[in-house]
Chains A and B, each alone.
Chain A
Amino acid sequence: MPELRLSMTAEARTVLTDLLRLIAPAAARVAVNRANIPDTDVEVAGFWTETLSAQASEEARLLAAAFTNAKGDPAVVILKNDAQAHAFLRALSAVRLALRDLVFADITDAQLESNDELDDDSLPTEKRHALACYACFGLLQQSLITQLCPEAFD
């Protein structure tokens, strides 16, 4: 597989990197909290919790490193193979889920899905900022999926 590239302006990289520093540590916790972990078997539940937590922490580190290493303008994240691309996709998903749970808890799914409906003036600055980042992380995901599997969005 040829390497995959995600480009963004240097300004976007700086803004997203700053947000990641804040949200990434919580992403692993949110991933575990949201999971439907079977509660009938203590051993299985323990294994699932450990696996999900370790993976989410690792992916948060991967994401932070990728953004930190994306130098230049435009800043380019390079993913060398499918495994890296999949991990990056999952990490972006974890961050979006964490933002959804921790920052946009009072916004409905429908409003969030079409964020045009959100009246900018009704939201505090930090939330508008986080919402813009949430959309950017989504765009990065879509760009990556389009490169990985163009027919996925048909």
Chain B
Amino acid sequence: MAKPKIKPEIKTETLVSAAPKWNVVVLNDPINYQGYVVVAFMSVLRINSAEAKKLMRAVHVDGRATVWTGDRERAEMLALELQQWHLNALLEKDA
């Protein structure tokens, strides 16, 4: 007599883990002029002068500011470009 086949119950679930975000942080430096930093932000971050000035002031007043947040690859690219402008830019994983 054939044994009854037991069909295992299979449950599937999809786990979505969001890739961590990365911050591009710029630190204040005493060498580069504020206007220079504004031009660098406009060129690298493709933002207008008002936004660039806002970020520049945050860097100047607080000593550091997050200028961009997003995926790692793009964050690396922007941090490198800001460093090509000789700004103190670094990458931080977003908390």
A residues 128-154 in Cβ contact with B at 8 Å: 138, 141-142, 145-146, 148-149, 151-154
Given the interface contacts A36-B89, A153-B34, A153-B35, does A90 sit within 8 Å of B49 by beta carbon?
no
Instruction: Select B36's contact among A52, A109, A112, A141, beta carbons within 8 Å.
Output: A141
Given the interface contacts A36-B90, A149-B39, does A52 sit within 8 Å of B83 by beta carbon?
yes
Write the nearest CB–CB distance from B77 to chain A, whole angstroms.
Answer: 11
Instruction: Select B83's contact among A35, A138, A151, A153, beta carbons within 8 Å.
Output: A35
Q: Closest chain A residue to B88 by CB distance?
A: A36
Residues of chain B at interface, number, CB under 8 A: 25
Given the interface contacts A35-B83, A38-B91, A90-B85, does A149 sit within 8 Å of B42 by beta carbon?
yes
Distance, CA A151 to CA B91, complexed state (A): 29
- Give the interface residue-count category, chain A: 20 to 34
3 closest A-B pairs by beta carbon, nearest first, are A152-B35, A109-B30, A152-B38
B49, A149: Cβ atoms under 8 Å? yes
Q: Which of A35, A100, A113, A153 has the most CB of B within 10 A?
A: A35
Distance, CA A112 to CA B29, complexed state (A): 12
A sample of 18 cross-chain residue pairs with beta-carbon separation below 8 angstroms, ordered by A number, consists of: A38-B91, A48-B80, A52-B80, A52-B84, A89-B36, A90-B85, A93-B85, A96-B31, A97-B31, A97-B86, A100-B31, A110-B30, A113-B30, A141-B36, A142-B33, A146-B35, A149-B35, A149-B49
